[in-house]
Chains A and B, each alone.
Chain A
Amino acid sequence: MKVVVEYFKDIFGGIKTLITGMKVTGKYFVSPSEIVTQQYPENRETLQMFDRFKGEVIMPHNDKNEHKCTGCGICEMNCPNGSIEVISKWEIVDDKKKKAIDKHIYHLSMCTFCGLCIKTCPSKALAFGQAFEHSVFDRSQLTKILNKPNSVVTKDLKE
Chain B
Amino acid sequence: MFLYDFTQLTSSIHSSLVESFGEGALTTTIELAIAGVAYLIFFAVLGLFLVYLERKVCAFIQNRLGPMRVGPWGLLQTIADFIKLLMKELIYIKSADQFLFNVAPFIVITASFLAIGAIPFDKGLQVLDFDIGVFYVAAVSSLGVLGVLLAGWASNNKYSLIGAMRSGAQIVSYELSVGLSLMTIIVLAGTMQFSELVAGQADLWFIFKGHIPAMIAFVIFLIAGTAETNRGPFDLAEAESELTAGFHTEYSGIKFALFFLAEYINMFIVASIATTVFLGGWMPLHIPGLDGFNHVMDFIPPVLWFFMKAFTVVFIMMWFKWTFPRLRIDQLLTLEWKYLLPLNLINIVIMTIVVLLGWHL
Q: Do A and B bind each other?
A: yes
Q: Give 18 pairs: A residue, B residue, CB < 8 Å, sorted on A.
A: A10-B339, A11-B343, A18-B323, A21-B324, A22-B319, A22-B320, A22-B323, A24-B323, A28-B61, A28-B62, A29-B57, A29-B60, A34-B63, A35-B60, A37-B59, A37-B64, A37-B68, A39-B65
Chain A residues near B339: list those with CB within 8 A: 10-11
Q: A11-B339, A29-B60 are in contact. Are A21 and B65 (CB under 8 A)?
A: no
Cβ-Cβ contact count across A and B, 8 Å cutoff: 39
Contact B61 A25 (CB under 8 A): yes
Q: Given contacts A11-B339, A18-B324, A28-B60, are A35 and B319 in contact (CB under 8 A)?
A: no
Question: In the docked arrangement, what's the CA distance between A37 and B65, Å?
Answer: 6
A11-B339, A22-B319, A39-B68 known; A29 vs B61 contact (CB < 8 Å): yes
Q: CB within 8 A of B63: which of A21, A36, A39?
A: A36
Residues on B close to A: CB < 8 A?
Answer: 57, 59-65, 68, 319-320, 322-324, 339, 343
Residues of A within 8 Å of B63, CB to CB, are 28, 34-37
A26 contacts B by Cβ under 8 Å: yes
CA distance A21 to B321 in the complex (A): 11
The A1-39 residues at the B interface (CB cut-off 8 A) are 10-11, 18, 21-22, 24-26, 28-29, 32, 34-37, 39
Partner of B323, one of A11, A25, A32, A34: A25
Q: Which 3 A-B pairs have the closest CB atoms?
A: A37-B65, A25-B323, A25-B61
- Chain A residues lying within 8 Å of B68, measured Cβ to Cβ, are 37, 39
A residues at B contact (CB < 8 Å): 10-11, 18, 21-22, 24-26, 28-29, 32, 34-37, 39
User: How far is the CB of B135 from the nearest CB of chain A, in Å?
Assistant: 29
Which chain B residue has the least Cβ–Cβ distance from A32?
B60
A35 close to B64 (CB less than 8 A): yes
Assembled-state Cα–Cα distance A35/B68 (Å): 13
Per the bound structure, the CA–CA distance linking A26 and B62 in Å amounts to 10
Q: Which residues of B contact A34 (CB under 8 A)?
A: 63
Cβ–Cβ < 8 Å partners of A11 in chain B:
339, 343
CB distance from B70 to the nearest CB of A (A): 14
Q: How far is the CA of A137 from the CA of B339 in the complex (A)?
A: 65
Q: Are A36 and B61 in contact (CB under 8 A)?
A: no
Rounded to whole angstroms, the CA-CA distance of A11 and B334 in the bound complex is 12
Docked complex Cα distance between A25 and B233 (Å): 15
Q: How far is the CB of A42 from chain B (nearest CB, A)?
A: 10
Closest Cβ neighbor of A30 among chain B residues: B60
Cα separation A10 to B338 with both chains bound (whole Å): 11
Given contacts A29-B61, A29-B319, A34-B63, 6 further A-B contacts (CB under 8 A): A10-B339, A25-B61, A28-B61, A36-B63, A36-B64, A37-B68
* A113, B33: Cα distance in complex, Å: 63
Which residues in B have their C-beta under 8 angstroms from that of A18? 323-324
Residue of A nearest to B338 (CB): A7
CA distance A36 to B59 in the complex (A): 11
In Å, the complex CA distance between A10 and B335 comes to: 11
